Structure 1
């Protein structure tokens, strides 16, 4: 799955760019999902007095509203992007306005000042209203989504790698840098996506749906303990993924 974010100030052309990108990706046969970041503090789809609202008020942690033509899931909390993306199994996921997740970014802007305000090493292209006046800024290409949607998606196909683990450096750092630095190096052609160490024989620990962060030393101990025990069991196959699930009633 490949994930990228379209960011920028209000009225800079983000949604117009995303519409064009989704249409062109879909035309090429890709499955596409999207996420819209809402910055309005009082935002809520569910309203007081509805049946679903009453379910939540009674204590339901997850409410599904199942209609004839759509199904909506209502969580009573703000989910991390890692949790949100677990619901997706698409070729591409386009994020609008998301800046707290390590993903390549297309920056939409109206002016060069807006570019300077929001520029970071993971921005790989420009779009939005600025593209009406220029086709590049300091080496970054600028695409008018209404006229150059095909060229923009060509560039997305070429530049956006499969999603990185998005781990803080203190919980990983196996490649010698943070995921953000790793991504910037990939976008600049200095590294390859395959150099991510987490994807090479990684071990993950979950309690419920929450991933427990582990430093490499702890990962090594856990891996050695589990593999050392399981390798003595009948049916063990070297190189195969090992999955262990412990029911909450184990004690």
Structure 2
């Protein structure tokens, strides 16, 4: 990657709506002409990235250091690593020039601005504080100095455009 790119993190409890919200924001920003990269944290290693029994799955589980699955419209790379953080992922694996990188998760990583998703039905308090890098909340009820309606992702996309994409905040 040749240029510095702004990076933000969207965090929250399990099943808080992070992925759905991020998907909508990516669609909005992409429709506005921006290139967006996404990094999803799977801290427990439960995400199914390939179908058991298929070739790439079998090769990776046989011990390959890396397996690249090439399709007509995408390339998926499985890389065996021992330790990493978001800055490693950005430097080593984001291959295209993009306008913004949205990270889902990595709530304990200190080097990005964080926005926490919290919904009324969760009946909980915030996981993060300003000391953890919390900038704002994405919510349907929670009062915070900077909050975005979870049902209006276009407002958050506009905020990202103004405060991140068109500035020099990056990892």
After superposition, the CA RMSD in angstroms is 2.6
Helix, strand or coil: the match of 1:118?
Answer: coil
- Structure 1 unmatched runs, 5+: 165-251
Distance 1:53 1:132 in 2: 40
Q: Is the 8 A contact 1:65 1:71 kept in 2?
A: yes
Q: 1:5 to 1:155 in 2, by over 3 A?
A: same
In 2, are the aligned partners of 1:108 and 1:126 still within 8 Å (CA)?
yes
Partner of 2:33: 29
Q: Pick closer, same or farther for the CA change 1:132–1:145 going to 2, 3 Å.
A: closer
Give the counterpart of 2:100 among 89, 92, 95. Answer: 92
- Report whether the alignment pairs 1:120 with 2:127: no
1:7-26 equivalences in 2 (<5 Å): 7-26=11-30
Number of residue pairs the alignment of both structures matches = 156
Distance 2:52 2:30 in 1: 37
Q: Which has the higher contact order (CA 8 A, sep 6+)?
A: 2
Is it true that 1:132 corresponds to 2:117 in the alignment?
no
User: Where does the alignment leave 5 or more consecutive residues of structure 2 unmatched?
Assistant: none
Residue by residue, what CA displacement relative to the aligned partner does 1:26-74 show, whole Å, maximum 9, x if unpaired?
A: 1221100101111334545246654334434565321111123332111
- Aligned residue in 2 for 1:105: 114
For the Cα contact (< 8 Å) 1:56–1:63, is it kept in 2?
Answer: yes
Please tell me whether the aligned partners of residues 16 and 145 of structure 1 are also in contact (alpha carbons under 8 angstroms): no
Distance verdict in 2 for CA 1:104–1:98, change over 3 Å:
same
- Greater Rg, structure 1 or structure 2? 1
TM-score (norm 1): 0.54
Corresponding residue number in structure 2 for 1:162: 169
Name whichever structure is richer in helix by fraction.
Answer: 1
Q: Is the 8 A contact 1:6 1:106 kept in 2?
A: yes
CA deviation vs aligned residue, 1:98-156 (integer Å, no higher than 9, x gap) = 222511111111358422x32233222211xxx3235x42x2x2211333x33222222
**Whole-Å Cα distance in 1 between the matches of residues 34 and 27 of structure 2?**
10
TM-score under structure 2 normalisation?
0.75
Distance 1:17 1:52, change over 3 A: closer
User: Within 1, Cα distance between the matches of 2:11 and 2:44?
Assistant: 16
**Higher strand fraction (1 or 2):** 2
